[in-house]
Structure 1
Amino acid sequence: MNMREKLDISAYLVIGPENTKGRSVAAIITDAIEAGFTCIQIRSKVASARELIQLTKEAADAIKTAGKSDDVALLVNDRLDVILAARHMGVKVDGIHVGQSDIPYDVCRKHLGEDAIVGVSARTEALLEYIQTVDVQPIDYFGVGPLRETATKPDCGQLQDGSVITRSLSDIAEVASVSPIPVVLGGGVKLDDLPALAKTGVHGFFVVSAVTEAKDPKQAATELVDMWQRNTERED
């Protein structure tokens, strides 16, 4: 079974060097994996292509060292070129996450193959209409947000006029109910949000600073995973 078939987006970490307070990206990824995170996305708007390739290699090595290469998915945000280069170097990268202004997801699917994971940030405007009408055959999950405005991705949910649309719990529940593919919700998500988010029907949560900027990333990651599991197990 390939990673696309067994994708688990229940606890999803997005990380880049600008989010770690100067600490090692690989070390925080290790902490998150040991705590039970199931999906890692490398995302950086400041790192060069070469730096991103190296970060991706370090992330893959951390996942391998933890014995989780067959369980924890490694994705790269936006940069199809970085993924192709890393794969050429023998790095195990499982897929890509793209936004609405990035490379079209069908192009990603064509270049990465049928076994790759392709995640897409759902459109901010006309969200429900988009999710119900887009061709999801090439897509594995939708990323939806933000729950609240967030400094790690200030353009999340931003409209052309600069205003930001945040998502209420009722919005999220409606999206989860109509989406033909899994939904992961993020954008300012904190530990105390998880019990309510678990009731919306989304398949998981994604975080950045809640783990990457925590005083103790492993403890923060563990608390998030435990909280999510406690509030979803009774519904399984």
Structure 2
Amino acid sequence: MGNIKKLDISAYLVIGPENTKGRPVATIIKEAVSAGFTCIQIRSKVASARELIQLTRQAAEVIEEAGKSDEVALLVNDRLDVVLAARSQGIKVDGIHVGQKDIPVKVCREYLGEDLIIGLSARADQLFDYIKTEDVSQLDYFGVGPLHETPTKPDCGIGEDGKVITRSIADITKVAELSSIPVVVGGGVKLADIPTLAKTGVDGFFVVSAVTEAENPKQAATNLVNAWNNYNSKTKTF
């Protein structure tokens, strides 16, 4: 997986310039990494390709400065072009996260090779059938959500009827049992959710605003990591 020793999605931050209340993306990533976050995803629907490449460069530099380039995975959401351009410029980006309507996983794998990480947002509708039947041979992990409705991504979890399907703890526990690859859960996750979430058997949680919009992002990130580590029922490595 590039230079990542093993993929750790236990504490996963999704961030873009629209999420930070005007603060530098790189600063918040630095604080999250120092607090123990293990995976960073650059995601923006407003930034240009050039801006995304620059954000990816800054994130890679911050991770390297922390001495965690072989531990913390740096991913880009949706934009295979940005991943390829960043890598051609010598930026250490470790993979991509895609949704159902993005570039197909098979195409991502063809361009990125076997060593890079590919994560996929599992479909909200028919979730259990999907997790059981999807060909996971090209994938490294599933993203599942939302746990709650979230203003950060209002279309997250929309079913065929246009209504948002949120995930109960029972659903999440079942997904963890069914999935043959690691599962990370998010969508409106707050500190209060972590103890329950950590006991479901999933491999991690992802957050956006709980860290990126916090008054003190480093403290918020630290609290989330500590809560996960205190309550996590799983010591599985992969």
TM-score interval (norm. to shorter): over 0.9
1:2, distance to aligned residue in structure 2 (A): 4.3
1:175, distance to aligned residue in structure 2 (A): 0.5
Question: How far does the alpha carbon of each residue in 1:155-209 deviate from its partner, in whole angstroms, 9 at most, with x for none?
Answer: 1001243210000000000000000100000000000101100111000000000
Aligned to 1:151: 151
Q: Runs of 4 or more off by more than 4 Å in structure 1?
A: 1-5
Query: CA contact under 8 A between 2:75 and 2:94: conserved in structure 1?
Result: yes
Distance in structure 2 (CA, Å) of the matches to 1:58 and 1:169: 36
Matches within 5 A, 1:183-202: 183-202=183-202
Gaps of 5+ in 2: none
Aligned to 1:44: 44
1:106, distance to aligned residue in structure 2 (A): 1.1
Distance in structure 2 (CA, Å) of the matches to 1:4 and 1:55: 20
Distance in structure 2 (CA, Å) of the matches to 1:180 and 1:4: 21
Query: CA contact under 8 A between 2:155 and 2:164: conserved in structure 1?
Result: yes
Query: CA contact under 8 A between 1:4 and 1:140: conserved in structure 2?
Result: no
1:125, distance to aligned residue in structure 2 (A): 1.1
Aligned to 2:99: 99
Does 2:84 match 1:87? no
Aligned amino acid, residue 181 of structure 1: I
Distance in structure 1 (CA, Å) of the matches to 2:234 and 2:54: 40
TM-score by length of 2: 0.96
Aligned amino acid, residue 106 of structure 1: K
SS class of match (2:68): coil
Distance 1:139 1:235, change over 3 A: closer
Query: CA contact under 8 A between 1:15 and 1:41: conserved in structure 2?
Result: yes
1:95, distance to aligned residue in structure 2 (A): 0.1
1:4, distance to aligned residue in structure 2 (A): 5.8
Distance in structure 1 (CA, Å) of the matches to 2:22 and 2:231: 33
Aligned to 2:174: 174
Distance in structure 2 (CA, Å) of the matches to 1:168 and 1:56: 33
Percent identity, aligned pairs only, is 71
Distance in structure 2 (CA, Å) of the matches to 1:169 and 1:3: 34
Aligned to 1:117: 117
Aligned amino acid, residue 80 of structure 1: L
Aligned to 1:211: 211
Distance in structure 2 (CA, Å) of the matches to 1:141 and 1:185: 11
Distance 1:2 1:85, change over 3 A: closer
SS class of match (1:83): helix
Distance in structure 2 (CA, Å) of the matches to 1:4 and 1:166: 32
Distance 1:116 1:235, change over 3 A: closer
SS class of match (2:175): helix
Distance in structure 2 (CA, Å) of the matches to 1:164 and 1:149: 7
1:218, distance to aligned residue in structure 2 (A): 0.1
Distance 1:85 1:2, change over 3 A: closer
1:154, distance to aligned residue in structure 2 (A): 0.6
Query: CA contact under 8 A between 1:98 and 1:119: conserved in structure 2?
Result: yes
Aligned amino acid, residue 177 of structure 1: E
TM-score by length of 1: 0.97
Aligned residues: 235
